[in-house]
Amino acid sequence: MKKCFLIFLFALLSVNLFAQSEKRDSIEISLLTCNPGNEIYSLFGHTAIRYQNFDKNIDLVYNYGMFSFKTPNFVMRFVKGETDYELGVIPFYYFESEYAMRGSSVYQQNLNLTYDEKDRLKTLLDENYEPNNRVYRYNYFYDNCTTRARDKIEESINGKVIYTESNTKESFRSIIHKFTKNNEWDQFGIDLCLGSEADRDISDREKMFSPFYLLEALKSAKISTGDSIRTLVKSEKYIVEVEPEVAEKGFPLSPFATACLLLILCISVAYFEVRHNKIYWGWDIFMFSAQGVAGCIVAFLFFFSVHPTVDSNWILILFNPIPLLYLPFMIRNVVKKKKDLFHYINIAYLTLFILIMPFISQKFDLTILPLTASLLVCSLRHILCYRKRFK
């Protein structure tokens, strides 16, 4: 009888341990990487964390990429680099449907975490979701939805995450170009705003600001706990696999082609002006206003924005507010048929800029060359007309 009781007790303990093991195995935490979309804010993909508890029928997505265009002064705050993002929590069903409707596939990497690590990560995420903690100051290169997800995963692990070194030189700008190569106007606009800091070689960890660089880093990452090593990713697969939406056709010409056409137009205008010895001041208003307005944006970013790398932007030499501020005096001199020293200075200034461009520690879009040449021709036509008029 005593022997039977012991057998029964052993069986009961075994069932209990098995149930606990099943309970522990019923929790899965995964990293989700979403393919790029067609809008400029979705060109680089997205990262989120998925929490599944099969026993409790819970399937949630923790998303650090939530923001609202309806935030007061959103545009001004965005330009200044004071955009606030927040952690959002939504059922996986809604997350899955949203990206399927966008035409963005979602790749899932199941993390090889212990029960305690999963529990700690869930606690960290829930603490971060509290109203006083969920909002954070977004920084695209250094503190975004991808780096936040990575940091929380690392914080939950009882050990150290070891990443394989890539041994490839990359910069923030080169990574951005990989995801904007089919969106030339977006790439050109971003290039105008980023400074020389965006061209320095960055570390493997800094590359993880990009969702797909983090995805690749996790594939070979390992967890070292001192006496043992295990892979960080247990399994991976597509959980949303759809055909990407066809992007709407934008402006048919590339920025470089458009700038070349502008240069041809500037040369044509200069030809007729010199031939008829007459300055079309309306063309001055168009060209130097455009240069000055672009300069105001670049100068604002340079001096006032906290966006990363914009305060090291050498394009400020070319695009600054000076032409816009001087424009009324320029037009007055044209109307009164007076010489204007601005154009002599401008020719020397723009020529010097073209000469030093290869030696500046910043990569400029090739479109800058025909744009600079167009502005140079605008000033040159004034000088040619002066010489013809006062000959």
Look at residue 384 and give its three-state secondary structure: helix
**pLDDT of 18:** 41
**pLDDT of 74:** 66
Distance from C-alpha of 148 to C-alpha of 107, rounded to nearest angstrom: 18
**pLDDT of 92:** 97
**pLDDT of 231:** 96
The Cα-based distances of 130 to 87, 123, 144, 149 in angstroms read 9, 11, 18, 16
Bridge partners, 49 (sequence order): 31, 62
**pLDDT of 13:** 44
Domain ranges of the chain: 24-240, 255-389
The answer to whether the beta carbons of residues 37 and 103 sit under 8 Å apart is yes
**pLDDT of 243:** 84
Distance from C-alpha of 37 to C-alpha of 271, rounded to nearest angstrom: 45
pLDDT beneath 50: ranges in the chain: 1-24
What is the CB-side half-sphere exposure of residue 254 using CA atoms within 13 A? 14
- Report the predicted TM-score, pTM, of the whole model to 2 decimal places: 0.87
Q: What phi and psi values does residue 123 have, to the nearest 5 degrees? A: -65, -45
**pLDDT of 4:** 44
Task: Give Cβ neighbours of residue 30 (< 8 Å, ≥ 6 apart).
Answer: 49, 50, 52, 108, 109, 110, 111
Distance from C-alpha of 154 to C-alpha of 225, rounded to nearest angstrom: 12
Distance from C-alpha of 187 to C-alpha of 363, rounded to nearest angstrom: 13
**pLDDT of 79:** 73
Task: Give Cβ neighbours of residue 102 (< 8 Å, ≥ 6 apart).
Answer: 37, 42, 245
Instruction: Give the angle subtended at the CA of 388 by the CAs of 387 and 391, to the nearest 5°.
Output: 75
- Give Dmax (Cα) for the chain: 127
**pLDDT of 70:** 67
Q: What is the dihedral of CA 219, 87, 152, 100, to 10 degrees?
A: -10
The answer to whether the beta carbons of residues 59 and 92 sit under 8 Å apart is yes
**pLDDT of 25:** 60
- Of 37, 55, 41, the closest CA to residue 100 belongs to 37
Q: Could you read off the pLDDT of 305-320 as tens digits, one per residue?
A: 988 999 999 999 999 9
- Of 272, 264, 286, 263, the closest CA to residue 385 belongs to 272
